[in-house]
Amino acid sequence: MELSNRILIVEDERDIGDLLSFHIKQMGFETEHALSGEEALAKLNKIHFDLIILDWMLPGLSGVEIAQLVRKMDTFKEVAILMLTAKSDPDSIVEGLESGADDYVTKPFSAEVLKARIQSLLRRMERMKMAPKNEESPQQPVDDIELGPLRVSLKVYKAYLKDEELNLTPSEFKLLTTMLQERGRVLTRARLIEEVQGEGITVIGRTIDTHVFGLRKKLGEFSDLIETVRGVGYRIRDDIF
């Protein structure tokens, strides 16, 4: 019998925790509820979870501190983290993502959006688990990355849409490759700047926006593949194909 995904809800308001549990169980998943950071860590050490839904403002350890602790432990490297919090300003979203969260949803939340984000994260983690692991050559590169009609060849540094080559600049190619490699995950402008910046190239946040604008134009009817997370950065949607 196929095992159901198990999700840990870390939320100090019991009513919200119960509501989250109700929606998640409707999706066919199992849930556990922790009312504090310390209780969450205790459960993590006893039970395997596929996803943690994490509030920021908790008694004791904060959600950011929990995310940082989880990301330092190899035991939990295949656990996804979705931060669900009332802190909605861009600086907080960036801090939450950089602490180790894979995605960030603000309260009040739409049940349908939340379910879509959960499904997207679980699909991405499943792909990571299924990816072949070469013990002898852990750095062996992947030649092609594909998503629907989009294909990027890392071997020849070219991108194709419906088998037609896209005329991308080096910066656009780096952006597209980075976002595809971490599809579904929000990438901050700072992270994208690190990827694009090279010898003799100075990049700022607005330059990234210009590159993304150009990339979207070249994707044509598939421009919606790149989603803007206002005030934070961008992500490649993995729920279209």
Question: Does 169 map to a domain?
Answer: yes
Question: Does 161 map to a domain?
Answer: yes
Distances (CA, A) of 97 to 80, 129, 164, 184, 222: 12, 21, 35, 13, 26
Question: Does 139 map to a domain?
Answer: no
Task: Quote the pLDDT of residue 193.
Answer: 81
- Indicate which CATH number applies to the domain containing 206: 1.10.10.10
Task: Quote the pLDDT of residue 137.
Answer: 41
Question: Does 241 map to a domain?
Answer: no
106 and 155 both lie in a single domain: no
Task: Quote the pLDDT of residue 143.
Answer: 77
Nearest to 173 by CA among 140, 204, 206, 214: 214
* Mean pLDDT in residue range 172-199: 83
Phi/psi at 91 (5° precision): -60, -40
21 and 110 both lie in a single domain: yes
Q: How many domains does the chain have?
A: 2
- Indicate which CATH number applies to the domain containing 121: 3.40.50.2300
pLDDT higher than 70, residue 198: no
Domain end call among 66, 98, 128: 128
Domain end call among 128, 157, 184: 128
Token pair belonging to 155 = 């071997």
Q: What CA–CA distance (Å, rounded) separates 21 from 33? A: 8
Q: What CA–CA distance (Å, rounded) separates 89 from 17? A: 23
Question: Does 31 map to a domain?
Answer: yes
67 and 173 both lie in a single domain: no
Task: Quote the pLDDT of residue 149.
Answer: 92
Mean of the per-residue pLDDT values of the chain: 85
Q: List, for residues 40-72, the tens digit of each pLDDT value.
A: 999 999 999 999 999 999 998 999 999 999 988
pLDDT higher than 80, residue 199: no
Domain end call among 76, 98, 128: 128
Q: Are strands 6-10 and 187-188 parallel, antiparallel or unpaired?
A: unpaired
Residue 104, domain extent: 6-128
Q: List, for residues 3-34, the tens digit of each pLDDT value.
A: 579 999 999 999 999 999 999 999 999 999 99
Question: Does 135 map to a domain?
Answer: no
15 and 122 both lie in a single domain: yes
> Is the Cβ–Cβ distance between 111 and 119 less than 8 Å?
no
168 and 67 both lie in a single domain: no
121 and 45 both lie in a single domain: yes
Q: Which value, to the nearest 10 degrees, does the dihedral of the CA atoms of residues 97, 12, 37, 120 take? A: -40
pLDDT higher than 80, residue 2: no
* Mean pLDDT in residue range 191-199: 72
The share of the chain scoring above pLDDT 70, in percent, equals 88
Token pair belonging to 26 = 């409707």
Q: List, for residues 74-128, the tens digit of each pLDDT value.
A: 888 789 899 999 998 878 888 888 888 888 888 999 999 899 889 888 887 776 6
Nearest to 153 by CA among 180, 185, 193: 180
122 and 11 both lie in a single domain: yes
Question: Does 158 map to a domain?
Answer: yes
Token pair belonging to 82 = 């979705």
Task: Quote the pLDDT of residue 131.
Answer: 55
Dihedral angle sign, alpha carbons of residues 93, 5, 69, 140: negative
Task: Quote the pLDDT of residue 132.
Answer: 53
* Helix ranges restricted to H, 164-204: 170-181, 189-196
47 and 103 both lie in a single domain: yes
Dihedral angle sign, alpha carbons of residues 189, 181, 74, 197: negative
pLDDT higher than 90, residue 196: no
Question: Does 136 map to a domain?
Answer: no
Residue type for position 156: V
Task: Quote the pLDDT of residue 142.
Answer: 62
